[in-house]
Every structure is written in structure tokens, then in C-alpha cells.
Amino acid sequence: MKLVLHNYWRSSASHRVRIVLGLKELAYEYVAVNIIKAEQQDDSYRARNPLAQVPTLEITEDDGTVKSLTQSLPIIEYLEERWPERPVLPKDLLLRAKSRMLAEVINAGIQPLQNLSTMRAVKALGGDEQAWPKPWIANGLAAYMKLATEVAGKFSVGDAPSIADCCLIPQLASARRFGVEYQQHELLVRIEKTCLALPAFANAMPDQQPDAVKS
């Protein structure tokens, strides 16, 4: 079996999947898709991902069968179910739902409003694409912190990293990139520090990727 991750270094959705692959200690091939240069629009990539987004996980089974998965959270759920060791979903049903809830605060409530296609559309309509995502990020992180306060331990949900943290850490990286202050959310700062002490999180950071553009 072989895993190939088609992704982009600064994509927060790609970042989430890299973290989970690291937590589960799964080897994979890194294939860079430069979304700034619109490589995701190439016919060869669209054949794998008709929405022309990153990431895409390509799975080659031992019998040679090749399958593709798109969208970061379904990819993470697949990895969780196929390789349940070192889980990213709690066993407790309510905490499992809470971890998914926190993940969706970011996945559905923040990320679509800051992604490249949205910002380009805002610019095309005459708006300030750099200012546009800031209130959405700030409000989303404030909501995340309030919800996480009820269930947090060392991590967002209890004392083990979960799918929530795998979404939070990339979002905090995006917050810094867009100049959104979150240091007032002490819980999030603490969780970020705890996560980044783990190799799976540290190695998945954007600036550690082979296609990273150094500023």
C-alpha cells in the first residue's frame, strides 16, 4: 500500500492531513500542487479532484488498485478508521462529537472565507482581499476558545490530540499570516504550544515543507 498526498505547503486543509499522517506515523509521498500558479486546474489534477482543490489523498493498494479521496476531514476520517492506532477521535461519544464540532468551527466557519478562491473573488468585486478574512478568523477563533473551554485538557478535547487540534494549529498559522491577533485567547496559545512540542505537528508546519517559499 502506498499513500500519495497532493497538497500545497500553505494550504491549511493540506496542513491538517499532514498532521494526522504524522500522528499515525504513516509514510507518504509528498506531491506539491502550486495553487498560486493554478496547477490545481490542470486536467491531470482535475481527474483526481474535480473541484480543483487541495488536498487529494491517493491510495494505491497492494493489488495495484488506485483510489483518490478529496476534502480534508473525510480524508482524516478515512485514515482514522483504517489506521485506528493513535486515534484522533476520542472514544467517548460526546467528546467525539465535540472534537468534530470544533473541527467544523474552523473547517466550515472560517476556512472557506479565507481561501484563495474567495479572496480572489473579493478582489474582483473591488474589495480588500487582505482585510476581508480578518473578522471571520477573529470571530471563529473566539468561538472555538469558548467551546473548547468546556472540554479542554492538555489539548482541545481532553489530554490527547484530536481532529480539533489538527484543524486548530493550521488555522492559527493562517491567523498569523493574515495578521489576526489571538494571544488574548490563552487557552489557544497553550494548546498550540503543547501541539508544536510534538514532531507530528512541528514537521507538518508550512515552512517545513519541500515547496515552501521562504520569505
CATH code: domain of residue 189:
1.20.1050.10
Q: Is position 213 within any domain?
A: no
Residue 52 lies in a domain: yes
Residue range(s) defining the domain that contains residue 79: 2-85
76, 69, 7, 14 alpha-carbon torsion, rounded to 10°: -20
Q: Is position 36 within any domain?
A: yes
For 20-80, give the DSSP string.
HHHHTT---EEEE--TTTTGGGSHHHHTT-TT--S-EEEEE-TTS-EEEEESHHHHHHHHH
pLDDT (0 to 100) of residue 51:
97
Cell of 27: 509514510
User: Whole-structure pTM over 0.95, yes or no?
Assistant: yes
- On whether residue 194 sits in a domain, the answer given is yes
Same-domain pairing of 101 and 80: no
Q: Do 134 and 160 share a domain, yes or no?
A: yes
117 plus 170 within the same structural domain: yes
Averaged pLDDT in 10-residue chunks for the chain of 215 residues = 98 98 98 97 97 98 97 98 98 98 98 94 95 97 98 98 98 97 98 98 98 88
d(CA 84, CA 94): 18
Q: Do 21 and 50 belong to one domain?
A: yes
Q: Does residue 12 sit in the same domain as residue 42?
A: yes
In a domain, 210, yes or no: no
Last residue of a domain, one of 50, 85, 120: 85
- Count how many domains the chain has: 2
